[in-house]
Amino acid sequence: MLRSRPRFSLVENGKPVQLSDDMFLEVGLDKHKLKSLLTDAGLRAAKHLGLKNNPITIEPKGVRAAGFAGLIRLTPSLELEVAPKFLGLDDQDSIWREDFFFLCTLSKYGRFLATDKLSASSGAPRDLATLVARSIISMYEAQKRRPLRSYRKALETGFFIEGDPDPVDIVFPSPEGFEQEVIRFDRRNVWNAEIVTAAKDLLPEVREPVVASFLMRLIEDLSPQGSVSTRSKPIPSRQRAWKPLHDLAQDVIRGLGVNYKQGQSAAPGYLVTTWRVWEDLITVALRLGFGNSSVQSQASFVLGEKTSAASGKTSDILVFPDFVIQNQKNGRRFLVDAKYKGHIEKGKLRIVESDIYEALAFAKASFCNLIVLIYPARPDEPKRPLGKCETFQTLSINDVTIVGVQVEIRNISKPGGIKEFASKMYDYLSSFDL
């Protein structure tokens, strides 16, 4: 489907989309060229995300995308967007883009506790560049009272002695004064330079005047800066509050799908591995609901032993459930596993056998008799309240109970969305009789 800027839209793991003749005419490309661009975009996505195979396939029925979501610039005027399967595409209500970027910032840049910088409303922007710019602005506004400063050496000329001038210069000064080496503690450093560069890269792409004006103000606040180094230094621990903004700025500089240059495939666009985003969301929600001390992530448990026939050495068989939830009141435990795919088969909701076997292994190794498998709700069904948990299958195997649940995620970028999502998940999980 094409929009104001031609955009080819797919849904992750969705039905193939045909490349129609009208599309070729509108974008000014022939079929072979467009197919070549899509194939190249898939290779860039695979390289960026560490995937073994090209996640974009061209079949007789059309084009499909699997295992990732995001936006890639195919040409200076043509974009490919892939919506995650748990959000889908909705031509009448494009809030899914805000939900998607909110989840990406939540996952990659540690934006939990929902500072509500992205709000879902009828007047909200729908393009990636504006959403990224808004996020950069909000992060900067939150930190600017504690400037990102560092010490630096500088050669300066003047008649006030502030540093170490050459004795000869003192006797025979130039018309401008003494040349001296001084140490400054200010905002001129490599990190602010990258933030300013990212803002300048975004500025031509931002379509909302208010956001553009805030970007210009940010650039003025932090200027002047030197050039961006090819080898960036990590932000000092004392300034770690600036790290999310700096990380996002670095992604913008690397490409982020907003400053495409013809013939340069290094900029992959804004891409994420969707199952990782889903797992990070569940992590944040559980920690908000139950508290950090009650949630243990990726704990290892011994399931059994294995012996090598060649060496005779014995080693443990370890399993790693996503989360162990500890009830602080009664000391009882249960397991939660974030599942991204495998619960929809021929239109029916069910827990597939591989997930059952894995859950049984987790339960046996950890001595927990309850394990909850959490899947994203299907976007092709009517929208439910955010965070609503629906049990679609319960299995009882000996003394182990396996519960399959799907959770509504759409509209999570609204004000207070993540807190609402976490609260409803907590209420649902707390309802089990342990």
pLDDT in tens, 368-409: 999 999 999 887 778 889 999 999 999 999 999 999 999 999
Domain assignment present for 219: no
* Average of per-residue pLDDT values in the chain: 79
Residues 284 and 426 in one domain: yes
Of 363 and 159, the one with more pLDDT: 363
Instruction: Identify the pLDDT of residue 263.
Output: 37
Asked if residues 270 and 257 have their Cβ atoms less than 8 Å apart, the reply is yes
Instruction: Identify the pLDDT of residue 161.
Output: 61
Lowest mean pLDDT among 19-28, 32-41, 265-274: 265-274
Domain assignment present for 174: yes
Q: How confident is the model at residue 264 (pLDDT cuts 50, 70, 90)?
A: very low
Q: Left if phi > 0, otherwise alpha if psi is -120 to 50, otherwise beta: which for 88?
A: left
The span from the CA of 120 to the CA of 299, in Å, is: 36
Instruction: Identify the pLDDT of residue 13.
Output: 86
Residues 296 and 401 in one domain: yes
Residues 61 and 169 in one domain: no
DSSP string, 169-186: HHHS-BTTBEEEEEEEEE
Would you state the structure tokens that stand for residue 298, as one six-digit string? 């990726």
Residues 160 and 85 in one domain: no
Q: How confident is the model at residue 128 (pLDDT cuts 50, 70, 90)?
A: low
Cβ-based burial of 261 (10 A; exposed 0-12, middle 13-18, buried ≥19): exposed
Residues 288 and 177 in one domain: no
Domain assignment present for 244: no
Domain assignment present for 191: no
Q: Is the peptide bond before 224 cis (omega within 30 degrees of 0)?
A: yes
Range of the domain at 169: 150-186
**Most trustworthy range by pLDDT among 110-119, 185-194, 261-270, 418-427:** 418-427
Of 60 and 173, the one with more pLDDT: 60
Instruction: Identify the pLDDT of residue 233.
Output: 79
pLDDT in tens, 267-285: 335 677 888 889 989 999 9
CA triplet 97, 5, 22: central angle to 5 degrees? 110
Instruction: Identify the pLDDT of residue 346.
Output: 55
Residues 56 and 160 in one domain: no
> Which of 89, 10, 4, 12 shows the shortest CA–CA distance to 49?
12
Residue ending a domain, choose from 165, 186, 207: 186
Reply yes or no on whether the pLDDT at 185 is more than 70: no
The span from the CA of 135 to the CA of 2, in Å, is: 26
Residues 6+ apart with CB under 8 A from 137: 211, 214, 215, 218
Domain assignment present for 193: no
Residue written as token pair 């540093």 = 163
Asked if residues 270 and 73 have their Cβ atoms less than 8 Å apart, the reply is no
DSSP3 helix / strand / coil % (the chain, rounded to 5): 35, 25, 40
Instruction: Identify the pLDDT of residue 56.
Output: 92
Span 291-307, average pLDDT: 90
Residues 76 and 155 in one domain: no
Of 30 and 116, the one with more pLDDT: 30
Domain assignment present for 1: yes
Instruction: Identify the pLDDT of residue 266.
Output: 34
Percentage of the chain lying above the pLDDT 90 cut = 26
Residue ending a domain, choose from 89, 105, 120: 89
Instruction: Identify the pLDDT of residue 182.
Output: 66
Span 416-429, average pLDDT: 92
Sheet holding 333-338, edge to edge: 295-297, 323-326, 333-338, 370-376, 400-407, 389-397
Q: How confident is the model at residue 257 (pLDDT cuts 50, 70, 90)?
A: very low
Span 173-193, average pLDDT: 75
Instruction: Identify the pLDDT of residue 125.
Output: 45
Domains in the chain, number = 3
Reply yes or no on whether the pLDDT at 265 is more than 50: no
Asked if residues 225 and 188 have their Cβ atoms less than 8 Å apart, the reply is yes
Instruction: Identify the pLDDT of residue 166.
Output: 62
Domain assignment present for 201: no
Domain assignment present for 25: yes
Reply yes or no on whether the pLDDT at 158 is more than 80: no
Instruction: Identify the pLDDT of residue 286.
Output: 93
Lowest mean pLDDT among 69-83, 192-206, 388-402: 69-83
Residues 417 and 318 in one domain: yes
Phi, psi of 120 (to 5 degrees): -85, 115
What CATH number is associated with residue 370? 3.40.1350
Reply yes or no on whether the pLDDT at 57 is more than 50: yes
Residue ending a domain, choose from 59, 89, 119: 89
Residues 400 and 311 in one domain: yes
Residues 27 and 168 in one domain: no
Q: How confident is the model at residue 243 (pLDDT cuts 50, 70, 90)?
A: confident
Asked if residues 239 and 189 have their Cβ atoms less than 8 Å apart, the reply is no
DSSP string, 324-381: EEE-TTT--EEEEEE--SSSEETTEE---HHHHHHHHHHHHHHT-SEEEEEEEPPTTS
Span 97-110, average pLDDT: 72
Beta bridge partners of 317: 304
Residues 6+ apart with CB under 8 A from 368: 324, 333, 334, 335, 362
Do strands 400-407 and 370-376 pair parallel, antiparallel, or not at all (unpaired)? parallel
Lowest mean pLDDT among 31-35, 75-79, 200-204, 283-287: 75-79
Residues 72 and 155 in one domain: no
Do strands 344-345 and 348-349 pair parallel, antiparallel, or not at all (unpaired)? antiparallel
Reply yes or no on whether the pLDDT at 16 is more than 80: yes
Q: How confident is the model at residue 117 (pLDDT cuts 50, 70, 90)?
A: very low
The span from the CA of 21 to the CA of 33, in Å, is: 13
